[in-house]
């Protein structure tokens, strides 16, 4: 898939045209990198929907199920449990980039594609990110560490919070970027926004909103679990870090109705 690294002259022209005709793309690229924008979009031409990725909200499990559904009844060697198929260009939901002359996000909205995504309590999402990408990570080349302000993994959760709250949305990795920015909240008319805190029920509701009959909804499998939901947030957050997260991610708390208080 194109539009990942250095753009060709033709790709630059296509992108410029897209910005002229698609306000969602134009506004998004003012605050996030092009590669992040493209990576976060999964399109089903078969079922006419768009999933906007929001990392650390159960997205691996959901994208695996969506890939299974998209491949069902077709001859394919793709495995919907394979991370390359779930997240990257091998995904059947990555058949085209929404850049002119292909349908843009604005085109897809006009053509009645349904948009869905998931959100999560910001306190828990950041803890899940830290545990998964840094505390429990054994990767020698950690792409998330490269997106930290100093280009290195933090030594503690408090160090992680102190570092990221000073970043712009553009510099942040999607795993800790504002969810309102990740999902283009003010621009996209969502058919449904599920909540990680009610994942099993909202998983089913998501597919219902997409018009999938109950007996055709893929079985839920919990992939890429970090245990953040079982951890006590009070063990990781103090008053300083709680206040800092609430101030930096206030749009998420307000837009999605999460309170200032730490969840139990």
Give the model's pLDDT for residue 229.
55
Give pLDDT tens digits for 103-147: 999 999 999 999 999 999 999 999 999 999 998 766 678 999 999
Statement: residue 231 has pLDDT above 80: no
**pLDDT greater than 70 at residue 63:** yes
- The reply to whether omega before 26 is within 30° of 0 (cis) is no
Contact 78, 68 (CB under 8 A): no
As a whole number of angstroms, the distance between CA 146 and CA 149 comes to: 8
The per-residue pLDDT for 72 is: 93
Span 232-247, pLDDT tens digits? 899 999 999 999 999 9
Overall pTM surpassing 0.75 (yes/no): yes
Inter-residue contact 59 to 116 (CB < 8 Å): no
pLDDT of 222 > 90? The answer is: no
What rounded mean pLDDT belongs to the chain?
A: 93
């Amino acid at each position: 898939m194109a539009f990942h690294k250095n753009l060709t002259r033709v790709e630059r022209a296509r992108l410029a045209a897209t910005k002229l005709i698609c306000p969602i793309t134009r506004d998004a690229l003012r605050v996030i990198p092009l590669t992040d924008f493209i990576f976060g979009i999964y399109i089903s031409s078969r079922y006419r929907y768009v999933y906007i990725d929001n990392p650390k909200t159960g997205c691996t499990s959901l994208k695996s199920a969506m890939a299974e559904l998209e491949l069902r009844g077709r001859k394919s060697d793709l495995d919907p449990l394979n991370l390359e198929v779930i997240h990257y260009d091998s995904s059947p939901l990555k058949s085209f980039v929404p850049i002119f002359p292909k349908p843009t996000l604005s085109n897809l909205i006009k053509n009645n594609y349904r948009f869905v995504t998931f959100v999560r309590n910001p306190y828990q999402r950041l803890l899940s990110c830290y545990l998964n990408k840094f505390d429990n990570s054994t990767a020698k080349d950690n792409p998330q560490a490269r997106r930290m302000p100093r280009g290195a993994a933090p030594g503690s959760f408090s160090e992680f919070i102190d570092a990221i709250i000073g970043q712009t949305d553009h510099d942040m990795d999607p795993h800790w970027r504002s969810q309102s920015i990740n999902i283009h909240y003010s621009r996209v008319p969502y058919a449904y926004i599920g909540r990680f805190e009610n994942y099993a029920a909202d998983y089913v509701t998501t597919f219902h909103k997409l018009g999938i009959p109950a007996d055709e909804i893929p079985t839920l499998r919990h992939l890429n679990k970090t245990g953040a939901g079982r951890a006590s947030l009070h063990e990781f957050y103090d008053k300083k870090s709680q206040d800092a997260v609430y101030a930096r991610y206030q749009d998420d708390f307000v837009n999605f109705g999460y309170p200032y208080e730490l969840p139990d």
